[in-house]
Amino acid sequence: MRTRRSVRPARAVAGILLAAALALTGCSAGSADSAAGSNAKAASRADAQEGAYGDEGRGAKATGSPKVAASHIIRTASLTVQVGDVPKALDDARTTAENAGGFVGDETTTRDEEGHERTRVVLRVPVEKYADVLTDLQGSGQLLERTAKAQDVTDQVVDVESRIKSQRASVARIRALMDEATKLSDVVTLEGELSSRQADLEALLAQQATLKDRTNLATITLSLSETPVEKAAQDDEPGFVDALAGGWDAFVTMLRWLAVAFGAVLPFAAVAALLVLLWLRVVRPRLPRRAEPAPATATVGPLPTARPAPQSPGARQPGERD
């Protein structure tokens, strides 16, 4: 009897311990799920705080950190040079750029009505060789125009680098939260956040690469044109042939303008002639004619009889004899 009594309490204690272990397991799973949900909420809150205070934090870091010693400057130049042989000058420009460690970008070649060739080429050369290449190019012929610009983008480079560091840290935090998440909804939410932040990081990296390319390589736009054929001196007095040629050119120009004026007036003259012909042949014959007024006849009365002229006392009467 004593043995049975001692076994029953031992079994009861074992059951209590098992129930307690199961309860602790359920609590730990629930706490893990709640922790994942809180992690997702914490990620969204961290995003909001980062968007609100990110600029201020970067400004504080920028003001607190010492200035960067190296400067980042974008250098561009434009040259217009007149040469005797454009293809040869273009080959020399290519050789100069390649020897300096650069390359040739865009190239455009045209030819005008007189047969003169014009070429526009873009050269990219290292900044260290920028001044030497510029001097060699402008010395290849007669320099007509030169323009050089320098743009300091040091602050922009520093700002992009700071944003890249912050964005990388943000991506790392999202990945850490994904490793701790257990619910499918939390995983989906965190994956969306991770994709968005990775896209922003790639855009910043592309901007950084563009700035690096523009600051490491200077851009030189070279325009080459052929030297025109030398003309006669202007101080020479014109001769008879020159005057005749000038008069003939003026005469031909006058005929040309007269032909142009005649061609411009011809449609209007044709329409006017057609209207006059229609009026004379069609419209006018159908108009009612007016009655001609009768000629006025004047009544002539009896002619007055001529009176005999008075005679003097000594004159003879007709029919009298001496």
* pLDDT at site 291: 61
- Asked whether the predicted pLDDT for residue 217 surpasses 80, the reply is yes
How far apart CA 214 and CA 219 sit, in angstroms, is 8
Q: Is residue 159 part of a domain?
A: yes
* pLDDT at site 277: 87
Q: Is residue 303 part of a domain?
A: no
Q: Taking residues 185-193, report their average pLDDT.
A: 87
Query: How many domains would you assign to the chain?
Result: 1
* pLDDT at site 45: 47
pLDDT in tens, 281-297: 888 787 777 665 555 55
* pLDDT at site 203: 94
Q: Is residue 11 part of a domain?
A: yes
Amino acid 63 reads T
- Asked whether the predicted pLDDT for residue 54 surpasses 60, the reply is no
Q: Is residue 137 part of a domain?
A: yes
Q: Taking residues 63-84, report their average pLDDT.
A: 74
Q: Is residue 295 part of a domain?
A: no
Q: Is residue 318 part of a domain?
A: no
Give the domain extent around 131.
1-229
* pLDDT at site 26: 43
* pLDDT at site 152: 92
Q: Is residue 248 part of a domain?
A: no
C-alpha closest to that of 163 among 113, 108, 201: 201
* pLDDT at site 279: 85
* pLDDT at site 312: 54
Q: Is residue 151 part of a domain?
A: yes
Q: Is 58 exposed, middle or buried (0-12, 13-18, 19+ CB in 10 A)?
A: middle
pLDDT in tens, 20-50: 544 444 444 444 444 444 444 444 444 544 4
C-alpha closest to that of 153 among 76, 61, 40: 76
* pLDDT at site 105: 86
